[in-house]
A and B are shown apart, each in its own frame.
Chain A
Amino acid sequence: MNGSFDFLVIGDDEASLAAAGAAAKTGARVAVQRPFERKKRSPAASPAVPNFVWRRLDLQDYDLTLEPVSARVTLLKEGGAVTSYASARETAAALESAESEDYLVWRDFLDEMAALCEDGYLTDALYKGEAPGAKRFAALLSDPLLLDKAARLFGPCADLLDDYFTDPRLKAHVAAHALSLAGAGPREAGSASALSEYIEADAWRVRTPKEGPSLRAVLERICQDAGVDFTAEKVVEIEPVSGKHLTVTFANDASIKVKHVFFATPDAAAAAGASGPGAMMNGLGYAGHAVFSMRFRLAEGVEPPGGDLKALYEIIDSAEDLQNARDAAVEGRLYEQLPVEFEFAPNGELIARSSYLPAAFYEDGEWRGWTGQDRQAAAAVMRERLSSRMPGFASYIRRFETEVAAPPAGPSPFAGCNRVIVQPRRHDAISAAVKLMDRVMAGDE
């Protein structure tokens, strides 16, 4: 691969590919670097494909079936599961039958969260990672109403939920599903923005059935049809030339000139070594944590409580768990009551994840990276957590593998490059990635 490109997209998750394809379809020259080794495996549920992306990519031509996740379920320590659905009415009805008073305000909550992020310049600040210009900044500070909105949108999630709901179980449920993606704590400033993000229709995750093509495969085909170049070579060097271009050199000595390097998720950035201390993210990022995931091949007969294999599950003991886990991650410790998200992939595998692990461990006054022992310890905690909600879970495990996405400790080849765009971990990652790329392109003109 040689030549000059507008974007080098690093990573081949759904959001990266959708952004690459959408940009290529509008005439940008795009290259995608995908991981060197890629295992063929049943994908986890991905963020929904928003209508505007569907139209941009003409997805109707690709024989694609998307099944929304059936429900969001939280398995608390006591008192059974709390469930919410894509339909506000269904959720309210479920809350009513669970005798939660808050069923009355559920729809109000959704409406207000949606209205909170309606104001362009609050969301711009959130998505672009930049506060507005002088005029708008002055206008923001002179408008009590907008400031109040901003304070709520960028305040702690727990304050907002406390102000709304009385049922601690519902609060724990909402916080768990909204925050676990980015590994944020409910008492942290900025965590409330996840609420307005997670209630969006584009944040409701979808799966492709076992038979049909996966969303990722379809997006890859679209990229190829749109003339996107693919490479699997590792990036070894990246250097700014003039103010407007970067030269990217790959392991096979090929080198290309690009205007921007684009990461649709911090995981991709971490894998490529582009995150870590000092790396700037676009918007509110929660640095200082790693994502640990496990895949289990299981014997027949494992069922989640309630038996719904198509739902998305969170395991937490209580809402405080989230903050405690976040605190532990910041302090460089492994937290025993780790919040765990899990789901069943279309091929029956169980995929479990947690974003509440430390990026590095702090021991005896020193920071150190992940070791094999840490992986084992994290795996043990995660298995323990799964067993606590699915009795006898351990005995069903046939095979499992683990994966850590942690920012690397060493120097990054991307350090000091300001044309590197990293999108924070978002619930509506596809929608956000395409929008972010559009904005970058608009800025180039």
Chain B
Amino acid sequence: MSDPKNPTRAKDGRDKPKESAHRIEGGIDAVVIGAGADGLAAAAYLGKGGLRTVLVGAGPEIGGRIAKREIASGVEGVDGEHLVTALDPDVIAELDLYRHGLEFAARRLDTTYFFEGGDVLRFDGDLAQAALLSLDHDDDREALEIFMSEVLDMAALLRPAFRPFAFPGGGNHQRVLEKAMAGATPEAAARLRRFCLSNADDIIHGRFGDGPLRALLLAETAFRSAAAPNEPFSFLSLLRRYSGEAAGLQGAAAYPKGGAVSVITALRRAAQSAKVDVRAATPVKSILIEGDRVGGVTLADGGQLRAPIIVAAIDAEQAYLTMIGAGMIDIGLERILTARRPEIASARMQIVLKGVAQDDATRRNMMRRLVYAPSPEALAKAFNEARAGRVPQSLVVEAVFPTALDEGAALDKRQVVSVMAHPLPFDAEPDAERREAIRSAILDNIEMFAAGFSGRIEADDLRLAADEAAAAKASPAAYAARPDILRQWALSSAVTGSGDITGFYFCGPEAQIGAGLSCAAGRAAARAALHAYRKGAA
């Protein structure tokens, strides 16, 4: 059986004999449920903090929705994310992820934007530069520079607010926030206050009129968010987008060597070096609540793990309604969890291309992040369509070429392009017809900026929110696009409040503000758990 002191033995859950049935296992300080990025990060923190920690994942693989998979014969792709934009720099430093093998193949991806009319704009990877290769008016360049520096300032001010935090313990968070905001200049603070409620389109339109810059910024605002850029609070989505940090640069995008899955690998190594007992294929049936504190978990096979700390890195519906049970959580928390109604989701598609042109321009573009930004009108319409449950005609498309970015990973005369498209209708159980409609909509949109693209497709693989959820054994709603930031804040603070159950900490997808691979929720949960553990021990 597993020995918490020797985590290497239990590395692969599938090899474990099934003799734990009806066994009660003690001597554990913390159980982390869920083997996604946040679960791994939380477990690594707990292990580093000296707690005997067991990480249990439901699926056979570690990594949750981010995993390597064969997408066509002989071609491996990475599910979940294709870039890193919001990975918490503190997690990288504190868990020493570079030492555990994390390496960026591209630290500062330039972005090329394509527009409906055939216009093209290139953005420097460092947004503060706002260096554009082609812009008709110098006025626009100046306006953009001013705007970007304002936005980056505001985003930096709000950065602590975009970090999830574990309640109770909000008092500390309040001080951090106050301090961060008090450091702002009065103008910046006033601007931020004025813009908080606003819709992004009003502000951007006021600054840039009707040009491509408006389309570009609206596309960035709308990307992966369920809040349309003409809705209130949507400006916050843009601030959230640009508050992230990739490889030390605010608002940038980076590509880790080997894809996003290498972040998982590094996290896993960090967890193992912190002596975390990682067990895959160990589904949890319920969380035991004794009095008002956690007692441990019951496994699907009937065994029990007793521990005074449980960290749930799974979706809130499973954690609260299934594992703890509706009858044991406060009515208000249950209302918040059951009142959610996701409407919009992003889709991921990985496409194997053959015979890609080898000219310089194409090769340069393959080393960049490519974004197709539909016109503001088309984007507004797309949100309306997606919300009404129809597949929109125009989509924001983000594309990268992992095979080009990963030096030496290029396949023989073939390339993989990884695409994320937004906004699409959310389906808990998409049928074949819906899949086909989404697939052809995405391909049509790629065709808008890469004519002749469809002719080179050798194979393609579409991944919807429901597929990701199935891979992570989560409820699909947890992988839909998140609503406006205000509602994300509310949901995050409700779920991280843990229903006031002593010893229970939550860092599932609902805890995170904004999209992308972050680990900030796992860090916050683990730190809160460690704090309480040490206080209890003292």
Contacts and interface: CB of A to CB of B under 8 A. Distances in A.
Nearest to B231: A189
A159 interface: yes
A187 B387 contact: yes
Given A135-B178, A142-B177, A331-B381, A150 B486 contact: yes
B27 interface: no
A138 B165 CA distance: 13
Interface string B372-392: 000001001100100110000
A154 B167 CA distance: 23
Contacts of A135: 178
Contact of B177 (A138, A154, A323): A138
Interface in A130-154: 130-135, 137-139, 141-144, 147-148, 150-151, 154
Contact of B489 (A141, A287, A331): A141
Given A154-B233, A190-B232, A278-B205, A134 B491 contact: no
16 contacts: A130-B197, A131-B193, A137-B193, A143-B170, A144-B493, A144-B494, A147-B490, A147-B493, A151-B489, A154-B233, A189-B483, A277-B206, A323-B387, A327-B388, A330-B230, A362-B377
Given A129-B197, A141-B173, A189-B483, A277 B202 contact: yes
Interface of B: 161, 167, 170-171, 173-175, 177-178, 181-182, 184, 189, 192-194, 196-199, 202, 205-206, 227, 230-234, 332, 335-336, 339, 341, 343, 377, 380-381, 384, 387-388, 483-484, 486-487, 489-491, 493-494, 497
B296 to A, nearest CB: 26
B231 A188 contact: yes
Nearest to A126: B197
A134 B167 contact: no
Contacts of B199: 287
B494 A331 contact: no
Contacts of A148: 332, 336, 490, 493-494
B138 to A, nearest CB: 21
Contacts of B205: 277-278
A303 B192 CA distance: 52
Contacts of B194: 129-131, 280
A187 B177 CA distance: 31
A253 interface: no
Contacts of A137: 177, 181, 193
Given A189-B483, A331-B380, A362-B377, 18 more contacts: A125-B196, A131-B197, A132-B193, A133-B193, A134-B184, A137-B177, A141-B173, A144-B170, A144-B490, A144-B493, A163-B335, A188-B231, A189-B231, A190-B233, A284-B197, A288-B230, A324-B388, A331-B384
Contacts of B381: 327, 330-331
Given A162-B341, A189-B233, A144 B193 contact: no
Nearest to A134: B181
A163 B189 CA distance: 36
Interface residues of A, number: 42
A288 B502 CA distance: 49
A379 to B, nearest CB: 25
A155 interface: yes
A369 interface: no
Interface of A: 125, 129-135, 137-139, 141-144, 147-148, 150-151, 154-155, 159, 162-163, 187-190, 277-278, 280, 283-284, 287-288, 323-324, 327, 330-332, 362
A144 B497 contact: yes
A154 B486 contact: yes
B487 A134 contact: no
Nearest to B205: A277
A141 B487 contact: no
A143 B457 CA distance: 51
A135 B167 CA distance: 19
Contact of A155 (B167, B177, B487, B494): B487
Contacts of A188: 231-232
A135 B189 CA distance: 11
Nearest to A418: B194
A52 B494 CA distance: 38
Which of B161, B197, B231, B335 has most A Cβ within 10 Å?
B197
A141 B164 CA distance: 10
A64 to B, nearest CB: 36
Contacts of B202: 277-278, 280, 287
Nearest to B181: A134
A138 B494 contact: no
Contacts of A130: 193-194, 196-197
A144 B167 contact: yes
A158 to B, nearest CB: 8
A323 B387 CA distance: 10
A407 to B, nearest CB: 12
Nearest to B493: A144
A187 B167 CA distance: 30
A138 B384 contact: no
A194 B189 CA distance: 28
A189 B206 CA distance: 21
B443 to A, nearest CB: 23
Contacts of B175: 138
- Among A139, A141, A327, the most chain B Cβ lie within 10 Å of the Cβ of A141
Given A148-B336, A154-B486, A139 B182 contact: no
Contacts of A323: 387-388
B165 to A, nearest CB: 8
A331 B493 CA distance: 35
Contacts of A138: 174-175, 177-178, 181
B218 to A, nearest CB: 13
Contacts of A151: 486-487, 489-491
Contacts of A190: 231-233
Contact of A189 (B167, B189, B232, B497): B232
Contacts of B193: 130-133, 137
Contacts of A132: 193
Contacts of B232: 154, 188-190, 284
A163 B384 contact: no
A137 B483 CA distance: 20
A443 B234 CA distance: 28
B383 to A, nearest CB: 9
B171 A142 contact: yes
Contacts of B335: 163
Contacts of B230: 287-288, 330
A317 to B, nearest CB: 15
Contacts of B377: 331-332, 362
* Interface hub of A130, A189, A331 (most chain B Cβ within 10 A): A189
